[in-house]
Homo-oligomer: A and B are copies of this chain.
Amino acid sequence: MREEAVRIGLLGCGNVGSALVRLVQDHGQSVFSRTGLRLELARVAVHSITKPRACELPEGVLTTEAGSVVTDPSIDVVVECMGGIEPARRLILAALESKKPVVTANKELLANEGPELFSAAAASGVDLLFEAAVAGGIPLIRPLRESLAGDRLRRIMGIVNGTTNYILTKMTEEGQTFYEALADAQTLGYAERDPTADVEGYDAAAKAAILATVAFGAQVAAGDVYREGISGITPDDIAMAERLGYGVKLLAIVEAVEGELAVRVHPAMVPVAHPLASVRDSFNAVFVQGDAVGDLMFYGRGAGGPPTASAVLGDVIDAAANLRQGRVAALPAGGPARIRPVDDLRSAYYVTIDVVDRPGVLEQVAAVTARHGVSIWKMEQLGLGDEARLVLVTHTAAERAMQATLTDLRHLDVVDRVGTLLRVIGED
Residues of A within 8 A of B (CB): 19, 23-24, 26-27, 30-31, 34-35, 131, 137-139, 142-143, 146-152, 217, 273, 275, 278-280, 283, 285, 290-301, 304, 306-307, 309-311, 313-314, 316-318, 321, 325-327, 330, 333
Contacts and interface: CB of A to CB of B under 8 A. Distances in A.
A263 B139 CA distance: 24
Nearest to A301: B294
Nearest to A309: B292
B23 A316 contact: no
B278 A311 contact: no
27 contacts: A24-B150, A26-B291, A30-B152, A34-B149, A34-B217, A35-B149, A137-B292, A137-B294, A139-B143, A139-B147, A146-B314, A146-B317, A150-B310, A150-B313, A150-B314, A151-B314, A275-B299, A292-B310, A292-B313, A293-B300, A293-B301, A293-B310, A293-B311, A296-B301, A298-B298, A326-B326, A327-B327
A146 B139 CA distance: 9
Nearest to A304: B294
Contacts of A148: 139, 310, 314
Copy count, this protein chain? 2
Contacts of A279: 275
Nearest to A39: B150
Contacts of A34: 149, 217, 330, 333
B152 A27 contact: yes
Given A147-B314, A150-B316, A278-B278, A296 B296 contact: no
Nearest to A28: B150
Residue with the highest number of chain B CB atoms closer than 10 Å, among A149, A273, A275: A149
Contacts of A304: 294
Contacts of A321: 330
Given A293-B300, A307-B292, A307-B294, A31 B149 contact: yes
Contact of A295 (B131, B217, B300, B330): B300
